[in-house]
Amino acid sequence: MADWLAAIILGLVEGLTEFIPVSSTGHLLLAKQLLGLADEPWNTFIVMIQLGAILAVVVVYFQRLWKVLLGLPGKDPAARRFALSVLLAFFPSAVLGLLFHDFIKDVLFDPMIVCVTLIVGGFALIALERWAPPARIDDSMGFSWKTALGVGIAQCLSIIPGVSRSGATIVGGLLLGVDKRAAAEFSFFLAIPTMVGAFALDFWESRELLTGDVVSLIAIGFVVSFFSGLFVVKTLVDFVGRYGFAPFAAWRILVGTIGLLVMWAYA
């Protein structure tokens, strides 16, 4: 398969899965395996194209984010509270990402780990749909520092491919009494510093791999992930409000099970 076509496929997978609780990294690693692509530069490609999907969040929520930026210099309490909540939630995974960057890429980027965590996470979502505590927080931009930090700690689980960054943060929010829509939106906002940080770290760590050809492939994946991510961000909150997380749980279990069966068949 031509590299440019592989970049389009992976960019589409990234954009469609980044913001739903099914693990974009897990799906990308499985897709890479199925396409027969080498670990490098494609593992670096997988991390760096996530910034395209994050740009979709900025576009969709531009007015609300811009209002926060304008309010910070004027010491708007609501703007400062929101900015602090995102930074607090970002901090735990940022520390772990810096400490375990090489271990994550060299050891945890394993299709078997991805499949197992997809299945386990699917059953966790099913359990949460049934036994989640009553929602008492419905404003994604008004989290207390304790709620934000709790969501950030939950996000740390997503350093394991297959867990899902959005899934970990949404589950963390639901367990802390956040309603589904607010949990999904805060997951969008938290994705911005998290994925920008991951992009910057991987850019620096993998700078020697970034030849002209690799950068061109990343650019293709970036654009495709942006437009597919734009579609998901615009539709996900309403979808979750209507159907909950059960469809994503079923998808996780299905994909993880098929992945394990394929690996066992070709072992």
Cα 233 from Cα 34, distance rounded (Å)? 27
Chain centroid to CA 15: how far?
10
- H/E stretch holding 261 reads helix 246-265
pLDDT reported for residue 267: 66
> For residues 169 and 123, is the Cβ–Cβ distance under 8 A?
no
pLDDT of 1 strictly over 70? no
> For residues 167 and 125, is the Cβ–Cβ distance under 8 A?
yes
Contacts of 71 (CB under 8 A, 6+ apart): 78, 79, 80
> Closest Cα partner for 161 from 52, 17, 8?
17
Cα 181 from Cα 198, distance rounded (Å)? 25
How does pLDDT run across 133-147, given as a tens digit for each residue? 888 999 999 999 999
pLDDT of 107 strictly over 80? no
pLDDT of 9 strictly over 70? yes
pLDDT reported for residue 261: 93
Provide the 8-state DSSP code for 113.
H
Contacts of 45 (CB under 8 A, 6+ apart): 7, 10, 214, 217, 218, 221
Higher pLDDT, 204 or 121: 121
Residue boundaries of the structural domains of the chain: 3-265
pLDDT of 83 strictly over 80? yes
> For residues 153 and 163, is the Cβ–Cβ distance under 8 A?
no
pLDDT of 149 strictly over 80? yes
pLDDT reported for residue 161: 85
How does pLDDT run across 12-51, given as a tens digit for each residue? 999 999 888 998 888 988 899 889 888 788 888 888 888 8
Higher pLDDT, 197 or 179: 179
Chain centroid to CA 239: how far?
17
Burial of 33-72, coded b for 16+ CB within 10 Å and e otherwise, reads: eeeebeeebbbbbbbbbbbbbbbbbeebbeeebeebeebe
